[in-house]
Amino acid sequence: MNVLKVPARTIAVFVLPCLLLYTCMVFVPILVSVYCGLLDWNGIAEAKFVGLANFKRIFTADPVFWPSVKRTMMFAVFSMLEIPFCLLLAILLNRYVRKANTLVTMYFLPVILSVVIIGQLWKTIYNPASMGGMLNGILMAVGLESWTRSWLTEPQIAMYALYFVSLWQYFGYHLLIQFTGVQNIPNELYEAAKIDGAEGFKADRYITLPLIVPIFKISIVLAFIGSLQSFDLIWVMTGGGPAHATDTVSTYMYNMSFLSMKYGYGSALASFLVVICLSFTIVINFVFKRIENKVS
């Protein structure tokens, strides 16, 4: 069989435009953000070079930063916890439900809605009963008045209310990914396993789970990185309040850059966020590579 050898120069000609575009759209903004993080600048007036002062202040003298990092990491953890449930539901749908594609499509509907619509919808649900809030209204109707809360204005519970909305919004997204992965596993493997006496969840243990690892990794990476960058839903529902109780690194960065007019400080926060995203992506890929080697 003859294999067509493409000259390296030809490959470079086709790759170079995309590489240049990617560099301009990704790496250049990152470098500009890092440089701006070295400045004392409000985005308009003349900038003053302050070196690593912004980064030093972030790590040592900012009372809002570390709590926002904690909330960001909790956001990521909660987002990843739903993926095993999505995989379990995908397996059950694929095995026991006829026309499961229709049901998966229904689960996917919240994903295609605008974040602004979702935010406004859940703000209405979380409103106090006196303002027509559905959740508090239901709790009062079933005699659980003591459970009613100002869900988005109490600092202790506001972030958990946002976690739930995010899980609700992206459950169908991860379910679709896992369901597609399960469907792509050849039925011949299950039929051969059934002959050997392995079926049901026993077959899933030795067939489905090892083969679904690459798809599972995709969901984990998307959930984790998306959560680290969480901004739009939080901004629509709480704006980072009350009293920074729902600020993540992204919302705090926006607040510093465009509301407080501390563009240099906001750029330093953005640089930190980029480093965190890249670092955890590398760690997750490394962990799953070892898992794939063990199950292969």
How is residue 163 written in tokens?
Answer: 């976690």
Query: Is residue 59 in some structural domain?
Result: no
What's the pTM value of the predicted model, to 2 decimals? Answer: 0.87
Number of domains in the chain: 1
Q: With a cut of 70, which residues of the chain have pLDDT below it?
A: 1-4, 296
Please report how the helices 65-96 and 209-228 are oriented relative to each other, as an axis angle in degrees rounded to 10.
Answer: 150
Residue 197 covered by a domain: yes
Residues 6+ apart with CB under 8 A from 43: 257, 258, 261, 263
What interhelical angle do 209-228 and 158-183 show, nearest 10? Answer: 150
Instruction: Report the pLDDT value the prediction gives residue 97, as an integer from 0 to 100.
Output: 87
| Predicted pLDDT at 3 | 57
Q: For the domain that residue 116 is a member of, what is the CATH number?
A: 1.10.3720.10
The confidence score (pLDDT) of residue 6 equals: 74
pLDDT of residue 2: 57
Q: What pLDDT does 296 receive?
A: 65
Q: 158 forms bridges with which residues in the sheet?
A: none
The pLDDT value recorded for residue 96 is 87
Question: What residue numbers bound the domain in which 208 lies?
Answer: 64-295
Cβ neighbours for 111, distance < 8 A, ≥ 6 positions apart: 169, 170, 172, 173
Distance (Å, rounded) from C-alpha 170 to C-alpha 281?
19
30 part of a folded domain: no
Query: Could you give the CA distance from residue 279 to residue 260 in angstroms, rounded to a whole number?
Result: 29
pLDDT in tens, 104-115: 989 999 999 999
Residue 23 in domain? no
Domain-located, residue 277: yes
Is residue 214 assigned to a domain?
yes
**Within a domain: residue 164?**
yes
Any domain includes 236 = yes
